[in-house]
Amino acid sequence: MKKTLFLLTILLFLFQQCNSQPGEPEPAPEETGTWASAREINVRLGKGINIGNTYEAMQSWQSPFDPADLKRIADLGFTHVRLPIRWERDDRSMSTAPYTIESAFMQTIESAVDEALKQKLHIILNMHHHDALMANPAGEKARFLSQWEQIAGHFKNYPDSLLFEILNEPHDKLTPALWNDYAESALRVIRRTNPRRCVLLGTAEWGGVGGLRSLEIPDDPQLILTVHYYNPFQFTHQGASWSEGSDAWLGTQWHGTVFERQAVKEDFKTVIQLAGEKNIPVHVGEFGAYSRADIDSRVRWTRFLARWFEQQSFSWAYWEWNSGFGIYDPQNRRYEQRLVNALVSDPMPDL
């Protein structure tokens, strides 16, 4: 009898081995219970950079995406990338129901995500420059929510190192009150398929710290608050063609004085207070100074902000990789090394 039971045990083991599927992908974190908390994820995000003027651009000014850039970014010491995406472009999605995102474009974004994860980078996917939604919120809400349903469903089995950001810089007719409603609606859609994925929530009125006055934060433990910072604006945007009157600001410098540093700290008082009250981690999703500012001032401003953000336990993503604010010239394959150092290695400067 014992011999028979032993043989049956062996046969059962062999049967299980023959029917196993070693080629199947690893189970998603949701299945294994390995999702980290929002605060842990924010620590892991650490230093990041935006792949700007690429997938959020219109065809006339879009920079090509080079997957090799992700290895370059990782090798420099960055730990995440933010990938701004304009999902509403006519060649990418339908403007009428059912608002389908083209499968080819979804695969394009998936390839970028896969390469980032291969390079051990966290990656943030957002919805960027949704101009139709800003101009006509009520008319575009169904499309906005449908697109998030599709994005969330497509990436639901990805690890927790992929994050979603609901919308970049809400403004225009997407008022602060409407933004609170639309953000909560989008979060509910995302949570149907991604109940524990970290989601970044930005502010109305162009995503700045001023938008915190009206922001209502949903009761969700897996949220990260994200804000953008470009102050003093006449310094960071001097000579920028899209900012009216900016040529008059050329020559504006930033010296890192006690007064200049204190202005930054004052700007972030509300952020720090709210983060403490709501127990929510903070990500600075954009900050940068345009290339027409003098390089010494750009380095001083960038270095101070990067180190000060870290002192506050903020994660951050510099704007941007390889265009007007960038640290890398893709034509000559050269770095603006002083800016690279300011971001990833320079210590906080003494006064």
Backbone angles phi, psi at 341, to 5 degrees: -60, -40
Look-up of token digits 């979060």: 187
Q: What is the mean pLDDT of residues 125-152?
A: 98
Q: What is the mean pLDDT of residues 74-95?
A: 98
Question: What's the pLDDT at 32?
Answer: 52
Residue 188 carries which side chain, given as an amino acid letter?
A: R
- Catalytic member of 140, 165, 286, 320: 286
Residue 49 carries which side chain, given as an amino acid letter?
A: I
- Catalytic member of 169, 260, 266, 277: 169
Examine the residue annotation and report whether 169 is marked as an active-site residue of this protein. yes
User: E strands along 242-346, which residues?
Assistant: 282-287, 315-318, 328-329, 334-335
- Fold (topology level) of 41-344: TIM Barrel (3.20.20)
Give the global pTM: 0.91
Examine the residue annotation and report whether 260 is marked as an active-site residue of this protein. no
For the chain, the structural domain boundaries read 41-344
If one compares 16 and 176, the residue with the highest pLDDT of the two is 176
- Residue 103 pLDDT > 50, yes or no? yes
Handedness of CA 40, 317, 176, 62 (dihedral sign): negative
Q: Supply the mean pLDDT for the chain.
A: 92
Q: What is the DSSP string of 149-217?
A: HHHHHHTTTS-TTEEEE--SS--TTS-HHHHHHHHHHHHHHHHHH-TT--EEE--TTTTSGGGGGT---
What's the length of the chain? 351
